[in-house]
Amino acid sequence: MKKLIVEKKYNNQKLNKFLFEKFPNLKQSTLYKTLRKKDIKINNKRVSENVIIHSGDEIQVFIADGLLMSPSNIFNLEIIYEDKNIIIINKPANIEVTGNLNCLSYHVKQYCKSHGENFVEPCHRLDRNTIGLVLFAKNEESLSILLEKFKQKEIEKHYIAVVHGLFKEKQNRLIAYLFKDKKKSLVYISDTPKKGYSEIITSYSVLKENKSDNYSILDINLETGRTHQIRAHFAHIKHPIIGDGKYGYNEINKKFKVKTQMLCSYKIKFNFSGDNKILNYLNGFCCTINVPFQ
């Protein structure tokens, strides 16, 4: 059984539209057979028709995984590094790290299960349309160590971003405060502390700039890892990431003909201190990928 919550964008939409988008490999014949058998529940009530759904509805789908997902998709992971304790994946755009059956974590879990490994969990997140490196732990001890290392800022996360505008300061460490509005799925930035706001620190260096087209390419180091931090922070200082439909400018995105933010998590570096038990060997290790828009 798969449990899903209807997002705002599907409010007043047909059930089939929602399910086909959530499960791209679901066949029409399978869906309508399932409806006839009343094997779909909406808010704990069985339905037998292609009804209208609403934001916040809880949908339970009683369909076997093999009919929802294509087995071949499970192995289309771009594995950048793997050992007995960790696995690092290059995440493409248009996929969540966690949250539904088609998320990255699901595919990684299926891959690990096929190799006899029954535990794997992500150590951090990327936004749906941010591409790049995601670190997973393959056992509980590794997960505990890595989460603590992120907390102690002993794991560097570097990003490449293409942003609108040019910078007077070619290198800077930005400090601000972020509030997360869960209902609107938005965050807000303040230059001064406020109740409910958390401190964020975002450092950047300008790698390249294009004066004629008025954009810069940045190397960004996240010292804190809040929701939408990079996107919202640079939009706040009037340098939105090109392609960002939520925090950016539509006219700029149209000019560059991009529909998703030009933001890539391209480097993870382990700077451990003390005794790190089974992960001591990772100290000093750096994992990088090529950035398609650099």
Examine the fold and report which residue of 68, 100, 115 is the final residue of a domain before the chain moves on: 68
pLDDT (tens digit per residue) in 35-94: 999 999 999 999 999 999 999 999 999 987 667 765 444 447 899 999 999 999 999 998
Based on the domain organization, do 60 and 125 belong to the same domain? Answer: no
Q: Is 223 within a domain? A: yes
Q: Are 153 and 163 a contacting pair, CB within 8 Å?
A: no
The number of distinct structural domains making up the chain is 3
Q: Are 85 and 278 a contacting pair, CB within 8 Å?
A: yes
**pLDDT, mean of residues 199-211:** 97
DSSP string covering 194-232, please?
-TT-EEEEEEEEEEEEETTTTEEEEEEEESS--TTHHHH
pTM score, two decimals?
0.75
What are 224's two structure tokens?
A: 């804190």
Q: Is 134 within a domain? A: yes
Alpha-carbon span 246 to 69, nearest angstrom? 29
> Any idea what DSSP says for residue 281?
G
Based on the domain organization, do 144 and 178 belong to the same domain? Answer: no
Q: Which has the closest alpha carbon to 241: 265, 213, 219, 260?
A: 260
**pLDDT, mean of residues 186-210:** 97
pLDDT (tens digit per residue) in 101-152: 778 998 899 888 888 898 999 999 999 999 999 999 999 999 999 999 999 9
Q: Is 284 within a domain? A: no
Based on the domain organization, do 201 and 247 belong to the same domain? Answer: yes
**pLDDT, mean of residues 262-266:** 98
201 pLDDT band (50/70/90 cuts)? very high
Return the pLDDT at 138: 97
| CATH number (domain holding residue 126) | 3.30.2350.10
Rg of the chain on CA atoms, in Å: 21
| CATH number (domain holding residue 46) | 3.10.290.10
Return the pLDDT at 72: 44
Based on the domain organization, do 131 and 207 belong to the same domain? Answer: no
Q: Which has the closest alpha carbon to 174: 246, 267, 236, 249?
A: 236
